[in-house]
Structure 1
Amino acid sequence: MSTARDAAALLPAPEELRAHLRALAVLDATIGDDPLFVCYTFDTAWGPGEEVALMNNGSGDDFSVHFTPAGVLIRGFDHESAMSPYVNEEVWPGLIDDVPASLSPILHDPAFREEDIDAPRVTACLWQETGDTLWHTGTSLVFPADNEDPDGSGFLFGLLTDRSPEAIQAYFADYYERPVPLDAIRHVLAGLPLTPAVTKALNPAGTH
């Protein structure tokens, strides 16, 4: 079984995670031919002092990573999860009960809440308050049995827990159905400037 608790042990510190998510957004925007099909984006002005990385695969699954002065909150939603509020008409017991008061308002942002079920759209949740060094999940959370990926974290956060250039290359090559050069992937993941040569390597037919 793979859950958010496993992800918590593999996630990097907030600043490294932020840089990685920004790189994923740059890669997706550069490799992609159509902004409508981009999965990874990064909003540097979501709110006062708040930046948000977003992933939406267009098939009903998404996550958001909120970087705030109070800390970082990761919210994931797998539409096929047995823990979905659409299945239970409420958030899964113990999933968000322990989220600190400084971060819990994020879950009630209208952008991540469904009016028809009056509940946050969440099946996986992790957080780390400023000054802490550990990622946390609900302490009383009990996952559904006999399910390899009960909360969807295994595939939702796959590129956050395995941040290797090879894993990133494999994902984008599969998603865009064309080769993506590893050296160009490494360049962007290292936080280096996006040069015309790297842009061309990532999207030879693009108009960037």
Structure 2
Amino acid sequence: MSTVYEAVARFPDPAELRLHLRALAALDAAMAADPQFCLYTFGAGWGPGEEAALMDNGSGDDFSAVFSPAGVLVRGFDHESAMSPYGRDDEEVWPGVVDEVPDALRPLLDDAAFLDPGLGVPRVTVCLWRETGDTAWRAGSAIDFPPGHGSPDGSGCLFHLLTDRSPETVRAHFEDYYERPVPLDAVCHVLAGRPMTPAITAALRPAGVR
């Protein structure tokens, strides 16, 4: 079973996570003919001193990673998860998922961008966080996951490019999504944080590709 506890053990430190998410957004933007089809985006100015990395697959699954002076909060939502508020009689977040989010990071979770306007609760099936100065990622300590699911909270699918950050895995993802070959050396270049040169841009989206 793949859950948030596996993700917690495999997430990089916040600085590396930020750079990796920026690289995924840069790769996506370079390969997409139309920005509306990008899955990954990264934006500064989310709030005072805040940046946000977002992933939305357009099919009801999404995650956010908000970087703030108080720390980082990662929230994910898998619309098919048995832990979705929409599938519960009380329409509440699954017990234990967000109960222990520190007060300093709670506003990042309760941002209107991540709330269901009808239910008034966060759209969340998985959550992890790391306060500034902490040495490890945290998640709810006593989540009772529903049985019979390979990834009951959706973490295995949502975070697969965050827990396995190898260039080969990233390339395979974008080749599958854009249905065309993607040069590994260009992926390595961007993941290393190097500048997006015209040559790298041309390699990621050759002339004539729509």
Answer whether TM exceeds 0.5 for this pair: yes
Aligned amino acid, residue 166 of structure 1: E
Match of residue 99 from structure 2: 97
* Displaced runs of 4 or more, over 2 A: none
Partner residue in 2 for 1:42: 42
Deviation at 1:206, TM superposition (A): 6.5
2:115 alignment partner, one of 106, 113, 116: 113
What SS does the corresponding residue of 2:130 show, helix, strand or coil?
A: strand
Q: Is the 8 A contact 1:200 1:206 kept in 2?
A: no
**Matches for 1:1-208 after TM superposition, within 5 Å:** 1-88=1-88, 89-205=91-207
**Identical amino acids, percent of aligned pairs:** 65
Task: Note closer, same or farther for the CA distance 1:65–1:206 as it changes in structure 2 (3 Å cut).
Answer: farther
User: Does the 8 A contact of 1:33 with 1:206 survive in 2?
Assistant: no
CA distance in 2, matches of 1:118, 1:193: 41
Q: Distance in 1 between matches of 2:120 and 2:52?
A: 23
- TM-score for both structures, normalised by structure 1: 0.98
Please give the alpha-carbon distance, in whole angstroms, between the structure 1 residues aligned to 2:120 and 2:20: 33
Residues of 2 paired with 1:154 and 1:205: CA distance? 35
Q: 1:56 to 1:202 in 2, by over 3 A?
A: same
1:183 partner SS: helix
RMSD of aligned alpha carbons: 1.0
Q: Distance in 2 between matches of 1:204 and 1:191?
A: 21
Partners of 1:59 and 1:67 lie apart in 2 by 25
Alpha carbons of structure 1 residues 123 and 17: separation in structure 2 relative to 1, 3 Å: same
1:92-140 Cα shifts (integer Å, max 9, x gaps): 0011000000001111111000121121100000000000110111012
- Listed one character per residue, the Cα deviations across residues 60-115 of structure 1 (whole Å, up to 9, x for unaligned) are 00000010000000000000000001111100001100000000111111100012
The unaligned stretches of length 5 or more in structure 1 are none
In 2, distance between residues paired with 1:115 and 1:54? 19
DSSP 3-state at the match of 1:114: coil
Decide whether aligned partners of structure 1 residues 31 and 63 sit closer, same or farther in structure 2, where only a CA change above 3 A counts: same
User: Which 5+ residue runs of structure 2 have no aligned equivalent?
Assistant: none
Shift of 1:205: 2.6
